[in-house]
Amino acid sequence: MRLATYQTGKTYILYDAHSVCDAESTPQITPALFDADHWRHTGRILGEAPGRGSSLFLDAGHEQWVLRPYRRGGLIARVSAARYLWTGLERTRGFRELRLTAHLFAHRLPVPRPVATAVTRHGVSYTAALITVRIPGARTLAELLEQGTADNGLLERVGATIRRFHDTGLDHVDLNARNLLVDATGKVWLIDLDRCRLRSPGTWREANLARLERSLLKFGEAKGMAAIRQGYTESSTACQD
């Protein structure tokens, strides 16, 4: 993976040159690809994921993509749902998340392969969107909990996967059952790294797990966290052996 940046007008695009360049190293990605209307007009929207960002599943020809616009939540969304304060290009949410995702992907951690992010400046504010590769056949842990098909074996794998990320230093500030995916083979993936960062070991690890536990309780899974913690602990022990 080789990340590159280019600017067109007021839009800055950070992309994986190995994924979206032709033989002459010319980027084959434009601001239009971050616009949901573009995909609607071409009839290549395959579906939509639930949640605040209204992520779209896209037919990109050779593979499927996920387009996620950045959206605010809470009370501040009443003022501006899609604009953020500009404090520098590398500090925008799109650039930070794509670089972090690329770093984890390069270290063979189970995150979607990043494709590109676009940031458009509007004076003192900006809007942004992110494109990643869709994980084939993946369903959210939330879905599986609702269906009652998340057994202890799966939950232990969830815990082991979280431990892998924690050992790498990833503080996932929104660790919940919708940001954990399970593919057709049973492999667990972690998505939505917005506002996440790499840190030294600390109390943030337990804060991540506590947030996930609150998420599980919403699905009536009061006992499920025990299996997750078991997988989390056993993964740590295995690494030490």
Active site residues: 174
Residue in this structure with the two tokens 């504010």, named with its chain if needed: 125
Pair 193, 111: CB distance under 8 Å: yes
Bridge partners for 16 per DSSP: 3
Q: Helices 152-168 & 224-240, crossing angle to 10 degrees?
A: 50
Sorted by sequence, the CB contacts under 8 Å of residue 124 that are 6+ apart come out as 85, 86
Helices and strands (H and E) in the chain: how many: 7, 13
Secondary structure E strands in 169-237: 170-171, 180-182, 188-190, 197-198
The values of phi and psi at residue 165, to 5°, are -65, -40
Pair 31, 121: CB distance under 8 Å: no
Signed CA dihedral, 102, 105, 106, 109: sign only: positive
From CA 34, how far away is CA 115, in angstroms rounded?
11
